[in-house]
Amino acid sequence: MISGGGTGGHIYPAIAIAKAWKEKHPQSEILFVGAEGKMEMQKVPEAGFKIEGLPVAGLQRSLSLANLSFPFKLLKSLKISKKLLQDFVPSAVVGVGGYASGPLLFAAQRKGIPTLIQEQNSYAGLTNKLLAKRAKKICVAFPDMERFFPKDRILYTGNPVRKDILQLEGKKEKAMAHFGLNPDRKVILVLGGSLGARTINQAVLTDMKAIEDSGYQMLWQSGKFYFKEMSEKVNLSGLKHIHVMEFIKEMDLAYAAADLVVSRAGALSVSELSLVGKPVIFIPSPNVAEDHQTKNAMAYVSENAALLLKDVEAVGKLKEVTDGLFADENKARKLGENIKKMAKPDAAIEIVEALESIIE
């Protein structure tokens, strides 16, 4: 059983683990457990796996009436988790973080079923820290995670990512044609997550004319919440080399086309970009638990493997930082080489091996 979700950063690694397991053990059955109403309830079946939902929800940080229902939802989720474990009889349970992993792993550990935790971020979430006490293995994506977990059970595997990202060689020409890009202009790829990032979008709007006038072009994933507004503004501007998209499905082609990437610093983005090996400017989201995106980004900045532009400074400063990188080819090349050194291309395989080792 694989449990967790809430965001793509939890769901996509979970699906990658399931696919790697199925490849090695085609006869085995896999059941996902997610939180009702969250994106895993759609994404997991799309990937070809069964999923059951729990009514669990998170505690709001602010005073909220929704918090009053939290203990009831948690108790109900624990009860459903016990029943699912009883019916499915899993050999092991994997938790990838997110609301649903708490009740299921807690129930599994009480029943003596071996559990494995996969922590994507450089700063461990509260649920995983609590569950780690009884977990058999803890697979992490960043070094120095002994601060949060028992050292003897930590495996530094990296985050599992989509397979197509491992094969970018020879795709540049196809990528340029696919997105309608000009082969004579450098490409800035801008990523703010599937829903979008307000600050990054605002920074692009502020500097897009100057960026095009400097001879660059942009492939810009504005996200679901902002696409309509951003595409209208680009159309009104008359700019020809700012290509705005709601969501980029063909990420392998987007990465192949890019000369430089501007991105949030979610765990999955960071792991994918290390495999891509292009110069990156991280603009971490300040609106996440324990400011973990800044911590993710700093793990790379400290190794001279990426640049960091603070969210509060991004609007009005984006072009200055991209210009600086394009002007200093040595620096850009070095960043690309260093980020590639931090890549973990076999993460899914290593997690499967860890899972095999805890199944008696």
Nearest partner of 204 among 335, 329, 321, 328, judged by Cα: 321
**Any known ligand binding at 77?**
no
**Any known ligand binding at 294?**
no
**Any known ligand binding at 30?**
no
**Any known ligand binding at 269?**
yes
**Any known ligand binding at 267?**
yes
**Any known ligand binding at 7?**
yes
3 state DSSP class of 90: coil
3 state DSSP class of 238: coil
Tokens of 194: 């599937």
* Residue-range domains of the chain with CATH: 2-159+345-358 (3.40.50.2000), 164-341 (3.40.50.2000)
**Any known ligand binding at 271?**
yes
Tokens of 270: 């960071």
This model's pTM is above 0.85:
yes
| Alpha helix ranges (H) inside the chain | 8-24, 40-46, 70-88, 101-110, 126-131, 172-179, 198-213, 227-237, 251-257, 267-276, 292-301, 311-314, 318-327, 329-341, 347-358
**Any known ligand binding at 229?**
no
Report yes or no: 335 and 304 within 8 Å, Cβ to Cβ.
Answer: yes
**Any known ligand binding at 69?**
no
**Any known ligand binding at 223?**
no
**Any known ligand binding at 97?**
no
Give the pLDDT of the chain (360 residues) as one tens digit per residue: 999 888 878 898 999 999 999 999 999 999 999 999 999 999 999 999 999 999 987 655 556 666 677 788 899 999 999 999 999 999 999 999 888 999 999 999 999 999 999 999 998 988 899 999 999 999 999 989 999 999 999 999 999 988 788 889 999 999 999 999 999 999 999 998 766 789 999 999 999 999 999 999 999 999 988 999 999 999 999 999 999 999 998 999 999 999 999 999 999 899 999 999 999 999 999 988 778 899 999 999 999 999 999 999 999 999 999 999 999 999 999 999 999 999 999 999 999 999 999 997
Cα dihedral 68, 73, 79, 85, rounded to 10, equals -140
3 state DSSP class of 170: coil
**Any known ligand binding at 81?**
no
Q: Which residue has the tokens 């110069």?
A: 279
Distance from C-alpha of 105 to C-alpha of 133, rounded to nearest angstrom: 11
